[in-house]
């Protein structure tokens, strides 16, 4: 039976049940009502996240699918969410975000243009990021698409054509298995099939995250994944360089260090593959 759901909202979650519930409750206020939500619990050792979201589901006013997987990173979790999605448009956000009430209504309007395969929306926060508090922000269009999945929409057929998120963009950090640069890789791959405009009226709030110095330093290791992005998109070397160097913060030297380690690691692996 063909579903009449027009948008599937895919949310990977890891160890943040309270923030997840805040997000799920906020979606009740969407002015566009013809949507479903797919939550993929990316590892849940104590069962708290699963129990919390299943309790919420009992009285949830919209269709809610909950899937639990072992901790594998957000790329794997999002791919699982895509496979469960029932609609032709898939919207992504993160478990610590809160979309504006007209997020879905304004987002789907862009797909009236058949050349549009996806959109990148605004990600805003409540203050200024620094070494101890940060949040990904995209407030205006730039020379290239970032693809940050706190606020991205895609046609489901395009996600299938690019084989979803490349799960190699996964690394172990202070938050378990996480994905890094896989969202940008997917966006750049999707652009081969059509347009991804910047949607200034499609907005998601992302709170500032408290970061300890130890956690910040450990998480910069994720920049080892950036050379894979360069390898897959060599024509975008300038954009990859920008992602590596900016914004300039106190951790920038560490980002560059791990980028170089990733380059060396990739070169060694390629040489070993050639020898075999």
Domain boundary among 188, 211, 234: 211
Q: Are residues 92 and 193 in the same domain?
A: yes
Tell whether 1 is covered by a domain.
Answer: no
Nearest to 208 by CA among 148, 93, 123, 127: 127
Given 170, 193, 211, the domain boundary residue is: 211
**Eight-class DSSP state of 180:** -
Query: Mean pLDDT in runs of 10 for the chain (276 residues)?
Result: 73 95 98 97 91 96 96 94 97 97 97 97 77 64 92 98 94 71 96 98 88 65 85 94 77 76 66 35
Which residues make Cβ contacts (< 8 Å) with residue 154, sequence separation at least 6? 89, 90, 92, 117, 118, 190
Q: Is residue 198, in this structure, part of any structural domain at all?
A: yes
Q: Are residues 23 and 142 in the same domain?
A: yes
| 110: containing domain | 7-211
Q: Is residue 165 a contact partner of residue 182, using CB atoms and an 8 Å limit?
A: yes
Neighbouring CB atoms inside 10 A of 185's CB total: 22
Backbone φ and ψ of 251, nearest 5°: -95, 0
Q: What pLDDT is attached to residue 129?
A: 52
Q: How far apart are CA 30 and CA 61, in angstroms?
A: 11
């Amino acid at each position: 039976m063909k579903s009449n759901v027009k948008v599937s909202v895919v949310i990977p979650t890891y160890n943040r049940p309270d923030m997840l519930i805040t997000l799920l409750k906020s979606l009740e206020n969407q002015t566009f009502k013809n949507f479903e939500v797919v939550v993929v619990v990316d590892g849940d050792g104590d069962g708290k996240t699963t129990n919390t979201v299943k309790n919420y589901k009992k009285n949830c006013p919209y269709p809610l699918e909950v899937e639990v997987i072992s901790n594998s990173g957000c790329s794997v979790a999002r791919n699982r969410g895509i496979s469960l999605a029932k609609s032709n448009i898939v919207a992504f956000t993160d478990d610590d975000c809160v979309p504006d009430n007209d997020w879905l209504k304004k987002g789907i309007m862009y797909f009236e243009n058949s050349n549009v395969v996806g959109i990148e929306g605004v990600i805003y926060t409540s203050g200024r990021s620094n070494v101890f508090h940060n949040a990904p922000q995209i407030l205006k269009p730039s020379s290239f698409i970032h693809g940050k999945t706190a606020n991205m929409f895609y046609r489901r057929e395009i996600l299938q054509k690019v084989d979803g998120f490349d799960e190699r963009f996964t690394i172990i950090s202070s938050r378990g298995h996480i994905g890094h640069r896989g969202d940008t890789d997917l966006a750049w791959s999707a652009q081969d099939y059509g347009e991804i405009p910047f949607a200034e009226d499609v907005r998601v709030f992302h709170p500032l995250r408290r970061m300890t110095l130890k956690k910040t330093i450990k998480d910069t290791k994720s920049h080892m994944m950036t050379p894979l992005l360069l390898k897959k998109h060599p024509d975008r070397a300038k954009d990859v360089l920008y992602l590596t160097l900016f914004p300039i913060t106190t951790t920038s030297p560490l980002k560059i260090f791990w980028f170089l380690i990733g380059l060396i690691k990739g070169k060694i692996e390629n040489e070993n593959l050639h020898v075999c």
